[in-house]
Amino acid sequence: MPENNGAPEDSEWIRVGDVSGTVVVGNQNNVTVHSGPLPDPVRRQPISQLPRSAVEPLIGRERDVHILQEVIKAGQLVQVWGASGVGKSALLRHLACRTPSGPEDVAYVEAGGRTADDIAQAIFDISFHAPNYKPSPEVLKEHLKTLRLRIYLDDAGLDEKDLRRLFDMAEKSTFVFTSQQRSALDGVHTIQLEGLKAPAAAELVGALLSRKLRPDEAPIVDALCDAVDGNPLQLRRIALSAATGKGLPGIADLPELLPALLNRLRPPERDLLYLLGSLSGAELAARHLDDLLGLPDSDALADGLVRHGLLLASETGYSCPPDVAECVLNIRKTEFPADRLCRAFTAWAEARDTTADDVAAHFQALDVAVLRAERSGHAQLGAALARAASPKLALSRQFDAWGSLLGVGWKAAKTAGDKDGEEFFLREARTRRRALGRAAQTTALVLEAEVLWRELTALHAHSAAHQVANTAPAATPPVHAFTPTHGAGSTQALSHSAVSTPATSAPAHTALPAHPARPVVDLSQASAPPHAAPHATGAHATAPHATGAHSAAPIPKRIDLSSAHSSVARSPHTAGTTTATGTGHTALTAAGAAAAKGGISALALACALGLVAVLGVGAAVYANHRPNSTPVATSSSDSTPNPIDDASATDDTALTDDTALSDDTAPTVDPVCATVISELSSKIERFNTDAAIASAAVGSYNSDMASYNSGATSIAPDDSTVLSHTGTVISDLGSVESTLQGAISQAQDSSVVSDLNDMLTATQQIQSLYQSYKNDPRGSEVDASSQALAMNSASDSLQTDCGAA
């Protein structure tokens, strides 16, 4: 990506293309909006961004390379998928450097942790000379669709909807991308990369030992290769075991191989793994390793650990595989000090020679540092780091990464009691919204503050969940019993039976055949509500302990609805994944296991106005089906009160014993509060759970309908399941309505009656929307976000009037 060169000063700005006549200008450590002209991007000639050459040649992948080159030449969208450590990134870099580009230009992009919008901006920056220009999505698409590129995306963890949106933006370009999970997107040629065969495994181990294997070692390596499914990362560790003088391990030794290897490392190497293992999979450049460890040769040490499968290398720097991180942290029983991380990163971010692109390349490490600082008693240092990095991250034009940093920075400022910091992050969030063209959708300052609060809460929750997922250990290939005969019958290294010849291959981005228009149901998915979002930071499956901020007294669960949007709605392939119902809210859902370096699965987190937006690092989270025992995985129990209510909260907590209300002046609480809050809580919880199930059913139905619309299937999908779940949601709302009506008839306090009436009105409106959809689902939507906002506002007021707040 072209560099911005220098710190954000008054002479630098981001020209924003989605609000006519505005620019975003860096001013010390604030980003503000001013007027100015928009540039005319100039296409680079030629467009060429290639990865650095691999240090070592590929071993055992000759046939794989040949097959992939043939598929790429056919102009298809290609995905290479497979387990962590199988060599996808090395293969992709090799293809990018060695495959003739033909008439196409070439762009290589590391996509790990990035959203579709940030990836699209990176492609724009590679392809056009337009310093500091941030086009609107519409303008961006107009520029990208003129390109004819071959784009290599490494570690693209986007879901199908975001992948399709990205592919459609650059419709004349072809994509070759890697990820851990197979994509079900139509028009993508998926190829599974499997482990090495025994001869290639022996060659790799021999190359790492710098000698040929002895006759007695060959059968051992053969057996070990079979035991680890030919995984190159595991084979590198096996070679390291032999290189340290202990000889090749036996199959029985494999489960304890990693701890044994770590114990044999030199102290500087262990310190390096300890540092990177504390960053939840985030990458660091060599200069940060030198600064944080005080070592002059961190780069050489890291390269040696990469060679032996204990670190991963990328264009940015180095990262620690999840299983190595888990092992290192278990040995140390602690993490690298968060205060040291924050101080070092803050000084680096403030340095004049640190460019915006340098900061953007480390956005995941910055998020982790701020999160860890907030949780470890150094919240003020975390907030200071986020403030220092924010303007340069804005200048990088990676606005989703910027939003993520604003979210974690805002939460750190709240935890530290830093009111000035909170205001800073709210101002920057407002600037970001304006730059993204959302300011016109908020008409009142108070309402805008509510939206910003919810958005920042969602961003913080996403970053925390992202950190937790990246600490989960990578799936280790199973250890199989040794079978002495495996040769001709062994599994092929690359599944390619579906490879089409150029004559029969469907062209990339083939238009859908003409069919009569058929309805596509698009029902809003439930998203993590603001008051519960921080509790999602440590759990992806169930979270029975995360019941909200007011644990002392039962309070009504929040109605949790968001507006639907075609570009960010739930992927049908995530619909059946882990969902938390313990708190009555939909948990952040999975689209596969977390990558070692990280990839993302897009999940829309909508704000209260139904403004569906990709927030932070995709406003999407990794999820993992494996338990996480690392210290980073601990969830935060901090509540996140609305900043609008901060003044009243401060006044309440400022009361001393001398100024507290006496018993005879204490307010009288309406007796109905004792029963209605508890009853509403359970019924709204049931509604939120059933609404999430209905949303998942709609996702599956949409997928089937898309297949029908495209002509892939000839029978229209049955909508009975979707309508059945919708009926259940309507029934839940009827039960809530009944409870509210009963409470209204019994309530004595006029304020409580008013709160209950407001809740009843919103409930009836939501019920009416669902009923309208059930009666006529053709092309309709359920957008109850504004009603949910009114419902939650009335609920907050009820809690206050009932003495629960």
- What is the DSSP code string of 162-186? HHHHHHHHTTTSEEEEEESS----T
Which residues are 26's β-sheet partners?
A: 31
Residues 649 and 654: their CA atoms lie apart, in Å, by 9
Residues 230 and 219: their CA atoms lie apart, in Å, by 14
CA angle 789, 465, 162 (to 5 degrees): 75
Which residues are 494's β-sheet partners?
A: 193
pLDDT at 357: 93
Distances (CA, A) of 763 to 454, 695, 771: 21, 18, 12
pLDDT at 504 over 90: no
Residues 184 and 706: their CA atoms lie apart, in Å, by 12
Mean pLDDT of 580-586: 32
Q: Is-contact 238 250, C-beta < 8 A?
A: no
- Against a cut of 0.75, is the pTM above it? no
pLDDT at 581 over 60: no
pLDDT at 395 over 60: yes
Residues 773 and 422: their CA atoms lie apart, in Å, by 41
DSSP letters of 618-634?
TT-----SS---SGGGP
348/493: higher pLDDT: 348
DSSP letters of 571-597?
PGGGTTS----TTSSPPPPPSSPPPSS
Pairing status of strand 133-134 against strand 13-16: parallel
Q: Within 10 A of 674 (CB to CB), how many other CB atoms are there?
A: 11
* Largest Cα span, the chain: 93
Residues 623 and 712: their CA atoms lie apart, in Å, by 30
CA angle 670, 675, 680 (to 5 degrees): 115
Q: Within 10 A of 570 (CB to CB), how many other CB atoms are there?
A: 29
The pLDDT confidence band at residue 457, using thresholds 50, 70 and 90, is low
pLDDT at 787: 76
Distances (CA, A) of 612 to 102, 528, 627, 702: 40, 13, 31, 18
The pLDDT confidence band at residue 688, using thresholds 50, 70 and 90, is confident
Mean pLDDT of 195-201: 95
771/645: higher pLDDT: 771
pLDDT at 506 over 80: no
Phi, psi of 653 (to 5 degrees): -75, -15
**HSE (side-chain half, CA atoms, 13 Å) at 323:** 18
| Residue 476 DSSP code | P
Phi, psi of 393 (to 5 degrees): -65, -35
Q: Count Cβ neighbours within 10 Å for each residue of 264-284 and write b for 16 or more, e otherwise.
A: ebeeebbbbbbbbbbbbbbbb
DSSP letters of 394-409?
HHTT-HHHHHHHHHHH
Q: Within 10 A of 700 (CB to CB), how many other CB atoms are there?
A: 17
Query: Is 218 exposed, middle or buried (CB count within 10 Å of its CB: 0-12, 13-18, 19+)?
Result: middle
Of 722, 728, 730, nearest to 769 (Cα)? 730
| Count, residues in the chain | 805
pLDDT at 165 over 80: yes
The pLDDT confidence band at residue 481, using thresholds 50, 70 and 90, is very low
Residues 730 and 723: their CA atoms lie apart, in Å, by 10
Per residue in 712-763, pLDDT tens? 777 888 888 888 888 898 998 999 998 999 899 888 888 888 889 888 988 8
Residue with tokens 């570690």: 155
The pLDDT confidence band at residue 639, using thresholds 50, 70 and 90, is very low
Of 315, 319, 291, 294, nearest to 305 (Cα)? 319
pLDDT at 465: 55
The pLDDT confidence band at residue 471, using thresholds 50, 70 and 90, is low
Residues 383 and 360: their CA atoms lie apart, in Å, by 17
| Residue 354 DSSP code | -
CA angle 17, 21, 24 (to 5 degrees): 65
Of 351, 353, 288, 349, nearest to 318 (Cα)? 288
Q: Count Cβ neighbours within 10 Å for each residue of 299-326 and write b for 16 or more, e otherwise.
A: bebbebbbbbbbbbbbbbbbbbbbbbbb
516/775: higher pLDDT: 775
pLDDT at 661 over 80: no
484/45: higher pLDDT: 45
